[in-house]
Copies of this chain bind each other. A is one copy, B any other.
Amino acid sequence: MDASPRAAHTVRLAGPLSPRSSWKASACSMARALDVVSSKSALLILREAFYGTARFDDFAERVGISEPVAAARLRELVDEGLLVREPYREPGQRTRMAYRLTDKGAELAPVLIAFMQWGDRWLQPSGAPVQLRHAECGELVQAELRCAAGHVVNTDELDLTVGPGRPAAKPAS
């Protein structure tokens, strides 16, 4: 293998992506994802949706935010297609709105779980307050980096390569 040096923990930039100064991350998927959902309150609303919370009042209370903030965040998450709003009615009550995760919202689970395990490890001297387990076998669940061949991968074993959606380079003038 090519063994160009890399600093600890860093990704190796491959082919036309090296050196870093030669390209702009103008279409970066992380940046786009962070434009959709980056506030703490939005991510904690998604946490609650994973925990089964559905009603407006419960989101505000369980995330610990005011009702106007909860309303604004829920509206953004619905507009972005991460949650859907559905009417529901309890006997003798007026119709209210419930929120549930879409597939698009649910696929953020690895982000939340990766944040959780990092917090467990670095910010909880007494250990994890809650743990996720695989319902079927009871074992602890982690967000981990793996390649399609099944290897667990560390950051200093990663190559950053050109993908199919990379904007074409401008021709030299």
Contact = CB atoms under 8 A, between A and B. Distances in A.
Instruction: Kindly report how many copies of this chain are found in the complex they form together.
Output: 2
A141 B129 contact: no
A63 to B, nearest CB: 9
Among A17, A101, A127, A135, the one with the most B-chain Cβ atoms within 10 Å of its Cβ is A135
Interface of chain A, main secondary structure: mixed
A113 B123 CA distance: 21
Interface in A54-68: 54, 58, 62
Contact of A165 (B38, B113, B128): B128
A167 B129 contact: yes
Interface string A126-158: 111111111111111111111111010101011
Contacts of A12: 135
A36 B119 CA distance: 9
A71 interface: no
Given A133-B147, A143-B143, 11 more contacts: A8-B100, A12-B135, A20-B48, A29-B124, A111-B114, A111-B115, A124-B165, A126-B164, A130-B162, A130-B163, A134-B157
14 contacts: A1-B135, A9-B49, A10-B49, A14-B133, A28-B119, A29-B117, A30-B119, A34-B43, A126-B164, A133-B161, A141-B153, A142-B145, A142-B146, A146-B146
